[in-house]
């Protein structure tokens, strides 16, 4: 059942002519939206709110049809209305300049109280990148992170799929709760709701318009300690999310890509200062001192393996995240191709790696030879 506080805030959001700027000014001045109807005309205009809107607030001139429609949708979709002055509202997001005044939340909203990390990337991602996104998200969820993404095709949905295996996830949508986009990912909706939540700032009937997604991305980065970009093209929403992260003072992590790949813009992020990321430990090693409650998990694959040298261990670590050919391994590891080839031959003889028919290698015991797009 929607609380009286949430009901009041929803009414305020449905005031005729209301906009995000006005809501932000009221919250900044009062520290609350719940008491906005108690402000007089002079106080409201003093905040820079236009006279017509101030009059509508004072007289509580609500768009009744909109309000009733939103109330009906919230009940029908079993959603919560989370206000910016609620304790359950994500604290990091609350601290950003453009934090939405209201979030509509479906599922387990306790996920929003966990430390969050975003995993984003290309919709038309490679199989290896999808494998990596799924694995790093699973690992991060296991140590205690809420993995945040945008439920798009490609990297996003694999991030959610990995996280729910070991922990919690949050999907931030670019449409209202009466819509789902993309439709192809709706089959994962119940799983995400069981192990996390779906959130949006948009009214229930808002369509998944293209201009909503850049706006959505600031929430993904804003509620997270950092953003991991797995693959990205030169013009992509993932780079917008990374830009928001930098502007919001968040860490930007990037997975290196083969230079000839169409999704190699992550390499540019690294050149511009993003932290090169090869696994969950790169994030954990940096953030475990800032965040209480994270647990360091001994990964089974890291125990009991005796490599001849550190280079072998480094290559094996890369192969745990997906199949790679020697050239890709050389690029990602920084080793020359000759050294990579020697290490691969030795590890193949020792049973640590398997060479597939297409010339790519995978870690023995992994499942990367299967069709990874069946997540």
The 3-class SS string of 198-255 reads: EEECCCCCCCCCCCHHHHHHHHHHHCCCEEEECCECCCCHHHHHHHHHHHCCCEEEEC
Q: What is the largest CA-CA distance in the chain?
A: 80
Nearest alpha carbon to residue 98 among 251, 208, 201, 209: 201
| Alpha helix stretches (DSSP H) within the chain | 4-13, 20-30, 41-46, 51-58, 64-76, 91-94, 127-143, 155-166, 189-194, 212-222, 237-247, 265-271, 280-287, 310-319, 326-333, 337-349
Strands 102-107 and 79-83: antiparallel
CB distance 57 to 37 below 8 Å: yes
Angle at 333 between CA 329 and CA 338, to 5 degrees: 65
Phi, psi (degrees; rounded to nearest 5) at 346: -65, -45
Strand partners, 147: 117, 169
Q: CA 238, CA 255: separation in Å to the nearest integer?
A: 12
DSSP structure class, residue 186 = G
Instruction: Please determine, for residue 239, whether its predicted confidence score (pLDDT) is greater than 50.
Output: yes
Q: CA 263, CA 76: separation in Å to the nearest integer?
A: 40
| pLDDT tens-digit readout, 148-177 | 999 999 999 999 999 999 999 999 999 999
pLDDT of residue 156: 95
DSSP structure class, residue 62 = B
Confidence of residue 298 (pLDDT cuts 50, 70, 90): low
- Cα separation values, 3 from 7, 9, 77, 220, 371, Å: 6, 10, 16, 26, 46
- Annotate 348-370 with DSSP letters as a single string: HHTTSEEE-TTS-EEETT--TTS
Mean of the per-residue pLDDT values of the chain:
89
Instruction: Please determine, for residue 351, whether its predicted confidence score (pLDDT) is greater than 70.
Output: yes
Q: CA 79, CA 176: separation in Å to the nearest integer?
A: 11
| pLDDT tens-digit readout, 79-123 | 999 999 899 999 999 999 899 999 999 999 999 999 999 999 999
Nearest alpha carbon to residue 5 among 95, 93, 84, 118: 84
The pTM score is 0.79
């Amino acid at each position: 059942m929607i609380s009286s506080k949430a009901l009041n805030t929803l009414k305020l959001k449905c005031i005729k002519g209301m906009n995000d700027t006005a809501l932000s000014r009221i919250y900044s001045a009062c520290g609350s939206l719940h008491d906005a109807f108690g402000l007089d005309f002079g106080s409201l205009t003093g905040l820079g709110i236009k006279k017509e809107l101030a009059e509508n607030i004072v007289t509580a001139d609500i768009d009744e049809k909109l309000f009733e429609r939103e109330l009906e949708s919230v009940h029908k979709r079993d959603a919560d209305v989370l206000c910016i002055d609620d304790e359950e509202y994500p604290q990091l997001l609350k601290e950003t300049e453009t934090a939405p005044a209201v979030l509509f939340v479906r599922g387990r909203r306790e996920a929003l109280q966990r430390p969050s990390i975003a995993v984003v990337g290309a919709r038309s991602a490679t199989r290896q990148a999808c494998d990596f996104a799924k694995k790093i998200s699973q690992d991060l969820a296991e140590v205690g992170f809420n993995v945040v993404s945008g439920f798009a095709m490609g990297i996003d949905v694999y991030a959610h799929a990995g996280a729910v295996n070991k922990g919690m996830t949050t999907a931030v949508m670019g449409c209202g709760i009466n819509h789902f986009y993309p439709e192809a990912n709706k089959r994962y909706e119940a799983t995400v709701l069981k192990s996390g939540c779906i959130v949006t700032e948009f009214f229930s009937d808002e369509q998944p318009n293209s201009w909503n997604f850049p706006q959505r991305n600031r929430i993904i980065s804003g509620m997270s300690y950092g953003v991991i970009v797995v693959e990205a093209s030169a013009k992509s929403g993932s780079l917008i999310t990374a830009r928001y992260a930098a502007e919001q003072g968040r860490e930007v992590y990037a997975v290196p890509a083969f230079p000839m790949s169409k999704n190699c813009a992550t390499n540019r992020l690294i050149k511009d200062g993003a932290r090169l990321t090869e696994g969950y430990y790169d994030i954990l090693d940096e953030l475990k001192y800032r965040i209480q409650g994270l647990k360091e998990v001994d990964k089974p694959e890291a125990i009991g393996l005796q490599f001849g040298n550190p280079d072998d261990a480094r290559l094996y670590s890369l192969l745990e995240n997906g199949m790679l050919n020697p050239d890709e391994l050389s690029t990602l590891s920084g080793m020359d191709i000759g050294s990579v080839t020697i290490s691969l031959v030795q590890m193949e003889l020792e049973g640590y790696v398997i060479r597939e028919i297409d010339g790519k290698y995978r870690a023995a015991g992994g499942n990367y030879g299967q069709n990874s797009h069946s997540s």
